[in-house]
Amino acid sequence: MPTIVETIATALKLTYVAISSAENGQLASPLAVTGTPGPDLLRLPLVYQRETLGHLLVRPRPGETLTEADRRLLADVARHAGVAMQTLRQAHALQQARERLVLSREEERRRLRRDLHDGLGPTLSALTLKAGSARVLFRREPDTAEALMREVEADIKATVAEIRRLVYALRPPVLDEQGLVMAIRVCAEQCALPLVRSHALRIRVEAPESLPALPAAVELAAYRIVQEAVSNVARHAQARNCTIRLLISDRLQVEISDDGAGLSADHPVGVGLVSMRERAEELGGRCMIESPPSKGVRVWASLPLSSMHMPDADTCSPHLEEHVL
């Protein structure tokens, strides 16, 4: 942007040239400027695919006017500047996405460090001390040593459970052991069973008989989106029916719909709804959340797949599995 305004000002000998972005239809602070502003500014829109992204502002020298040739030249420059403005916006959006990704990764590392340091660390240290005490007491006080070994055994079982919890938080083992469809089924059961409700929630899974080998990131994103959506249905929707659909072609499409109360127009956008969108967008996909009046909520996500062998059409026929939770 600075190069554009400097070049225009020099070539046309203008007193003032600036490029400003457009925010809510209003001019924002200039992204690049040279010269001194004044009255009689010529404003040319910077348009990209029918969207006004900003404006090119120019002011001739006092006592001079822009010729028709100058105006045509500026209009042509404004068209190219609109493309440059869009590139700038995309670069800014990409940088923000990278920053969110880095922040999320560091937060996850901090959580793991805290869990390992505050949870597993002291537990393993205590196990070492108890095992050492039992070894010392083994001959002199066998009953005391046996009691200590029982404590060690119980602590080891608790430690194994904690390690499994940490591993599950990183990537649910059921994804690798039994695949995405089974993981989604287990996820739905885990989200719904702990809750007390006056009616049954019927969850229906519609998925292909078999899925091709999916990228690990796509599997995890689809699983987390379903996990968040089904959890919301079980906790807040007051729904009787929920349907989870998986379709696959060159993309993996995930849809979760329910017949519950839906979202009100003033419903706040929570962390869960934002995280579903971010998980899809990080992979270059999309996630939409719709709530027609009195028709529940529909969450739809489309996740791109890497180049891979896709199953034949007959293996993609839906296989319905119903579970009443």
When mean pLDDT is compared across 79-88, 110-119, 142-151, 251-260, the lowest value belongs to: 110-119
- Find the helix or strand (DSSP H, E) in which 157 lies: helix 142-170
Q: Do domains 102-170 and 175-324 have the same CATH topology?
A: no
* Paired tokens of 198: 């006056």
Three-state secondary structure readout of 29-68: EEEEEEECCCCCCEEEEEEECCEEEEEEEEECCCCCCCCH
Helix (H, G, I), strand (E, B) or coil at 249: coil
What pLDDT does 240 receive?
82
Q: What 3-state class would DSSP assign to 292?
A: coil
Domain spans of the chain? 2-97, 102-170, 175-324
CATH 3.30.110.40 for domain 2-97, yes or no, is no
What pLDDT, on a 0 to 100 scale, did the predictor assign at position 192?
A: 62
User: Per mean pLDDT, which of 35-44, 221-230, 309-318 is the most reliable?
Assistant: 221-230
CATH of 175-324, one of 3.30.565.10, 1.10.10.10, 3.40.440.10, 2.40.160.210: 3.30.565.10
The pLDDT assigned to 26 comes to 56
Gap between the Cα atoms of 190 and 212, Å rounded = 25
Give the pLDDT mean for 56-73: 85
Domain 102-170 - what CATH class? Answer: mainly alpha
pLDDT digits (tens, 9 = 90+) for 265-274: 555 556 677 8
Give CA 226 to chain center in angstroms: 13
C-alpha closest to that of 253 among 190, 179, 191, 316: 316
And the tokens for 28? 């924002």
Count CA atoms within 13 Å of residue 50 on its CB side.
0
> How large is the average pLDDT for residues 88-116?
78
Q: What pLDDT, on the 0 to 100 scale, is given for residue 71? A: 87
